[in-house]
Structure 1
């Protein structure tokens, strides 16, 4: 029962964090380009709107340093409570913002500030949610436990996109643009209270608690990270780039690409995205479970190869027909990418010792996220110059995927040996060491 409660706490916050984050991504292509960044040239509006979307990604490394420091020094739980408030609070306030028509340039300025707060908060949330699960798991189920908080991505995205679809179905176009789009953002306030209630009842992870009691806490985790574990941090950046670019396209930019450049309706694009996310709900825990038997590395490499092979066919397929669009979206996002993502939390956390684990895995992951977050700006420019060319867009993805594939091949197989094993070894050794003086004293007494 305790393990289920921990996994629920990890997942609940993750759902809300990603609900809020992708809610902004959905609104960027549908609402913000018109209400906050009006321009006579639609391409310019899209470009500016997605620049603020990328700003949220750019802020995430800062969040990983701030909350990684909190998580590695004060505790995983404390960090997760703060990130939840920052993420949910900023989303709630977005729902109250006046538009450009009402206050002019002040509207997009306030939107960008709140977006930055979102990014900083999410920069600390992901790593903490994963560690809450993996540091409470035994070795044989660590892959499964680490995959559970990853479910927050598809669930959060489905909730975000479904909320827009639901509101849109009950309002006219004018009503939706006037006030309907605000409702999903305001709903964050309800979700945040629920998640805080769930997380407040959990205890600190055993690994961190053990280090805290022994006094083995780093004063400046980020400095220790760069001194001793920078190689693995940079490894994570490269490992994440390939699937990261494709993920941002498949889960965010696809709404603009499918409607603006291919000609699908907004409802069709949202349905394709929702179906692929629903598929992820099955893929992620199944693959997480399998990774405990065949290893994270094998699955990671297989997934990257799958994305490489399907990169160009994907862009050809989504332009050919609605049914092919649905199939390609489900296969590439719902199955192949989901398989990679299922292993990432556990895989990346196993590369670092507990004293810098929060900072190390978060910073590497979020630096990569900051880079790929500006993908929509590049793709908008590419579409303006070349149109929705499968060879241009597919080629872009292939280059990034090759970088990740090479690094994955030369990465360690963490299922066999990881830094989690060091903590287990310490626990086994300590009783024997502390018992020696007692045995010696007993011998002396007999003499």
Structure 2
């Protein structure tokens, strides 16, 4: 199987899934709070709208169990095809929904239902896309391969925010609120058809194929996961929490923070977000490649320390002017957080054996995502009461980052201690060389 085709299949679906997911985040701040959750108090409308945003995050662990089971039992490819259909179909239908003014409470109820379907689908997409790449990589390139599906986040968000920016530029405010906002959601149908076609041409990953041929498939992956690998499951949850809160702020809530509490225009906030995501597209593969030489954990720790150091300066700089706002947004999201995110797929997946890897990787990541997804509700309350409050917001972020930093210090260097089977990646079906770790755990090399 050609590596380029595998990476394209991994990236294409990831881009579209995150395009759809972050379309909702952008629309929450710009559209949904007005059209689906009208209230005489704008702060309450925003709070309720972000509750539905968080509902999508809360649904992601459910998707990780469902699609993790399919991915670990039937195959990575089958699971990834289903996640595309779920995500694309729900996003397309959001573009067709009537508003509160047209059908009353049925409108927000349908919106929440489709958001839940989005979250369930994404809960299975991310882990599968990462494994499609990493389980097809040769030894010494897993960090680079694992960073490619991570590009789906900035590319998807750039496409989503660009679509809203472009449509906003060519429509009046009334036209945008009436029908313009629907176009990006409807366009997702075209992208989904393209991604399904690309993924239909690939095969299963070498490592999963070998496990299936040898009969080493877990009957109930989530049960095996908690029986044998729960320590690493909880490790992944903690590792993701700190940067997860900051990530949700920098990529979603920043639109509300900058426009509502600081005073920037919608276009200025969207431009800052777009520029920082464009920077991530450059940062992620470079850092992924470097991680194959110096290790995932080293980069992870350095990135968390940098985020802790820049947390309060970021919130002080945002109100200081557009130059500072753009610079700090690009630095913190486009460079520092992108460096952490570039390593996460490979770092986390290397903690689990192949028979529960899809479930373990997805569930750990998505449980953390479910927790941080409700951050905007808390921040909306904080902002409504205290305004921009740089020390309050910065201190909140530092607290979460410290949890992840402590866990990362005590995590293994997965570049050298891994549960991947190198013989399967290299296409050699002979017996792997085994190594016993100091804890007595048998790992494959």
Q: TM-score, normalised by structure 1?
A: 0.95
Instruction: Give the drift of 1:7.
Output: 0.1
**1:421: how far off?**
3.9
Deviation, structure 1 residue 157:
0.1
Distance 1:196 1:52 in 2: 28
What are the within-5 Å matches in structure 2 for residues 203-218 of structure 1?
203-218=203-218
Alignment of structure 1 residues 8-407 onto 2, 5 Å: 8-407=8-407
Partner Cα separation in structure 2 for residue 51 and residue 300 of structure 1 = 30
Instruction: String of CA shifts for 1:167-196, please: whole Å, max 9, x gaps.
Output: 111110000000000000000100000000
- Between Structure 1 and Structure 2, the one with more helix by share is 1
Task: Sort the Cα spacing of 1:431 and 1:134 in 2 relative to 1 into closer, same or farther, 3 A.
Answer: closer
SS of equivalent to 1:144: helix
Relative distance call for 1:350 and 1:431 in structure 2 (3 A) is: closer
Runs of 5+ in structure 2 lacking a partner?
434-445
Q: CA deviation at 1:431?
A: 6.0
> Per the alignment, do residues 334 and 429 of structure 1 end up closer, same or farther by CA in structure 2, a change over 3 Å counting?
closer
Q: Name the TM-score, length of structure 2 as normaliser.
A: 0.96
> Contact conserved, 2:319 with 2:325, CA < 8 A, in 1?
yes
Contact 2:350–2:418 (8 Å) recurs in 1: yes
C-alpha separation in 2, matches of 1:428 and 1:37? 57
- Could you list the runs of 5+ residues in structure 1 that have no partner in the other structure? 434-447
Bigger Rg, structure 1 or 2: 1
Distance 1:65 1:149 in 2: 20
Distance in 1 (CA, whole Å) between partners of 2:268 and 2:418 is 44
Counterpart in the other structure of 1:438: none
RMSD of the TM alignment (CA)? 1.5
Secondary structure of the residue aligned to 1:139 is coil
Inter-partner Cα distance in structure 2 for 1:149 and 1:426? 21
Task: Tell me by how many angstroms 1:417 deviates.
Answer: 1.4
What's the offset of the Cα at 1:426?
A: 12
